Amino acid sequence: MRETARREIGTQYLKRSPFTGEMAIADREVRGRIIWRSPDEMAVVVDGRQMTWDELGRAIQNEGWNFTITVDEPIGMVDGYDPALVFGGD
């Protein structure tokens, strides 16, 4: 779990496009977290940045490319989860 946390923190999945100035996929993978933006709207967090689903879609748009979506369990739901191992502290 520590290795996963280090890898995720040290990876930037989106970058600002020099052509459009908007966020764009930095490489070939994007990882993030699904959140409730409001009581009736879901959003995502990528690279610590909250985004709507439309914003994420624009960031990864590359017509003709294939994609895979994998939804993993929330870290708090994994057996043996200890926040101190991920976030430090006592």
Mean pLDDT of 66-89: 65
Has residue 43 got a pLDDT over 50?
A: yes
Q: Predicted confidence band at 38 (pLDDT cuts at 50, 70, 90)?
A: confident
Q: Are 33 and 44 contacting, i.e. CB atoms less than 8 angstroms apart?
A: yes
- Tokens 């496009």 belong to 17
| Rounded (5°) CA angle 82-47-60 | 130
For residue 71, what pLDDT is reported? 86
Q: CA separation (Å) from 89 to 10, 41, 82? A: 20, 33, 11
Higher per-residue confidence, 80 vs 20: 20
Q: Predicted confidence band at 87 (pLDDT cuts at 50, 70, 90)?
A: very low
